[in-house]
Structure 1
Amino acid sequence: MAKADEGARAFTTAAIREGDDPTARAILSAAVQMIAARGYHGTSIRDIATFAGISPGSIYNHFGSKHELLVTILVRGGSALVEATERALLDAPAEPAARLDAIVSTHVGVHAQNPMESYIGNSELRSLDAVALERVIANRDAQQRIFDRVIDDGVRRGAFTTQNPVEASRFVVTACTAVAMWFRPDGPASEADVIARYQAVARDAVGHRPL
């Protein structure tokens, strides 16, 4: 087996998990970069292997097919987002606005740091089979429900005055997700700046008023 390419291994992705061996890491990193650049149908197993610096056959020692690679990228990425958001909520103060700030910070941060995965997630759902699509949508629904719960709780407690909590929740999640489309680490606004701005936007969307 050829040694996995250093460049592929250097690119970090939310699809990589602790315990993945170096070759699996290189494959996932290469797959994210190649699919983001060329699209799922425009990327072959050979393309991914070449970018990773391994033989095409080596990929099948870790993933059964190109489709399995795509599913792994999307399911792991979605699960990581949900888990990170749940941790942020658990660690946040009990005050509704602080809870909203915490989950907005995580959602924006994850998408700012993983723009390729976000792009793949938005553009390649059509490439999934029905079972895989259900798994990906389940993670998205779980993430949306976290925002729904926080906003509903804020409305019940009188901290949020929106008359349309469902729509406000969807608006906030959609806006935060879209950060991946334009944010650049070397741009005029830092990730922390963008997070702070989107926290303010989210508070405005739900009609926040101090208790």
Structure 2
Amino acid sequence: MKQAGEQAAARGRAREERAKGLPGSNAVAEDDDPAAATIIRAAVEVMARHGYHGTSVRDIADAAQVSPGLLYHHFGSKHDLLVTILDRGIDRLVRDTEDALFHAGDDPAGRLRAIVRTHVLAHTMSRRESLLGNTELRSLSPSARALIVSKRDTQQRMFDRVLADGVRRGAFGTPHPVEASRMIVTACTAVATWFREPGALSGPQLADVYERLALDTAGYRS
């Protein structure tokens, strides 16, 4: 019995070693079971490359070096795994944006800079997760889609409030704060589609540029 347990542990360590080549993912939680974390990392990697419908459970299991049964044990289905990835990604983005606002102070320009920087860096550091979030929303069930969309709306409303407050206080001169807010969020999100490292700009350098562009879009009156 002891020998069988040792052999199982050895096989588990071997699987982890083989899966170490998988990139990290912001969809992995600190308290995830190691096997579940590896499955998430594998799913992000394979789905981002082949798409949700072009990826099978077997593809994910092979990339994670686990059995399909173990995937079903942790996530129930490929759909549930996608929901986990998208839900955790947007939750992290909302939390980080709220935190950025909390520490940004009262100045409208500083608040806009803070949330733009957070949004840009999130999409440069987690490009594959962002790609899935932007292309695979259509693959979710109606209820799961509604959940993710509602959280995206929460993120958008933070930008909306910062723009509206800046206009009200005379810091921003745009006559179209709602449209400006949407443009800024869309532009920040889109960096995930083309940003690569190494490139002409690093992630933080790109965030610097987008901060200035956002202020221009808002009609910042310095």
TM-score bucket of the superposed structures, by smaller chain: over 0.9
In structure 2, list runs of 5 or more residues that go unmatched.
1-7
CA distance in 2, matches of 1:6, 1:101: 41
Match of 1:137 among 149, 161, 170: 149
TM-score normalised by L of structure 2? 0.91
Q: In structure 1, what is the equivalent of residue 118 of structure 2?
A: 106
In structure 1, list runs of 5 or more residues that go unmatched.
none
By how many angstroms is 1:61 displaced?
1.6
TM-score normalised by L of structure 1? 0.96
Match of 1:75 among 65, 87, 111: 87
Where in structure 1 do 4 or more consecutive aligned residues deviate above 6 Å?
none
Q: In structure 1, what is the equivalent of residue 127 of structure 2?
A: 115
Using the aligned pairs only, state the percent identity. 53
CA distance in 1, matches of 2:194, 2:18: 24
CA distance in 2, matches of 1:111, 1:192: 11
| RMSD, aligned α-carbons | 1.2
Deviations 1:69-106 (A, max 9, x none): 01101111011100110001101121000000000000
By how many angstroms is 1:5 displaced?
3.9
Match of 1:60 among 65, 72, 80: 72
Q: In structure 2, what is the equivalent of residue 202 of structure 1?
A: 214
Q: In structure 1, what is the equivalent of residue 165 of structure 2?
A: 153
Q: In structure 2, what is the equivalent of residue 48 of structure 1?
A: 60
Q: 1:125 is matched by which residue type in structure 2? A: L
Matched residue count: 210
Between 169-178 and 114-123, the greater mean CA deviation after superposition? 114-123
Deviations 1:20-63 (A, max 9, x none): 01111100000001111111111111110110011111111210
Counterpart contact for 1:92–1:99, Cα < 8 Å: yes
- Structure whose residues are more often helix by fraction: 2
Task: Pick closer, same or farther for the CA change 1:6–1:91 going to 2, 3 Å.
Answer: farther
CA distance in 2, matches of 1:129, 1:75: 13
